[in-house]
Structure 1
Amino acid sequence: MARVNTLLFLIVVALSVVALIDCLATDRSRIRSFPRGAWAVLILLCPVAGAIAWFRAGRATSASDIHAAPRPCGPDDDPEFLRQLAETIRHR
């Protein structure tokens, strides 16, 4: 029984450490719901629930979660660039 308790303790500590490091390393623009300090305190005070909450609701996982306008990936995806290119070709 002691081995199971030790294993569970190590899993909880590892989960908390990974969540805390991820919280502190995540860019500020990708953090949702609370400020970074509040997430760190939650992870430290409630190791399992705080870590699970951080991974589920604390960090944005995709561009749609960030609430920012998507930027074009390349010039051929940028409508303004394509418009300027068409004008340049027309005026030749």
Structure 2
Amino acid sequence: MVRAFVFLFLAHLALVIAAVADCLGGEHAPRKLSRAWWVLIIVIVPVVGGILWFSVGRARPPRPQPGSGRPGSSGGPRSPRGPVAPDDDPDFLRDIDRRLRDEPKED
């Protein structure tokens, strides 16, 4: 029984901390109320306040408009503009190959 209470208390604490951190750390303004009001609601009414923050108050990031992509794009999946990782970069691979050829062999 004590373990259940400890678990519920820790879950409650995690929800409150996550909601307050998300509220104070967001880059977009929250919906409906100011950040101060949301923090007050989350702290005073812990479980319900956290659930309300994540369902109602949290700002949604703006969606890109359908026609705002690159000119001539079909709206399908975008290919990366450049190499994604060093091992995909042809210049990087050429440089490694050159270094390996130029190193003196130790035998």
Measured in 1, the distance between the counterparts of 2:67 and 2:21 equals 31
Maintained 8 Å contact 1:23/1:36: yes
Maintained 8 Å contact 1:28/1:36: no
Structure 2 unmatched runs, 5+: 73-107
Give the deviation of 1:27 after TM superposition: 1.9
- Where does structure 1 differ by over 2 angstroms across 4 or more consecutive aligned residues? 60-64, 69-75
Cα distance change of structure 1 residues 40 and 71 upon mapping to structure 2, 3 Å threshold:
farther
User: Structure 1 length normalisation: TM-score?
Assistant: 0.67
Counterpart position of 1:76: 71
> Which of structures 1 and 2 has the bigger CA Rg?
2
Task: Provide Cα deviations, 1:15-52, integer angstroms capped at 9, x if missing partner.
Answer: 000000000001243x1010000000111111100000
Percentage of pairs with the same residue: 35
Higher relative contact order (CA closer than 8 Å, sequence separation 6+): 1
Give the deviation of 1:61 after TM superposition: 2.6
RMSD across aligned C-alpha pairs, in angstroms? 2.3
3-state SS, counterpart of residue 71 of structure 2: helix
User: More helix by proportion, 1 or 2?
Assistant: 1
Counterpart position of 1:86: none
Structure 1 unmatched runs, 5+: 78-92
User: Structure 2 length normalisation: TM-score?
Assistant: 0.58
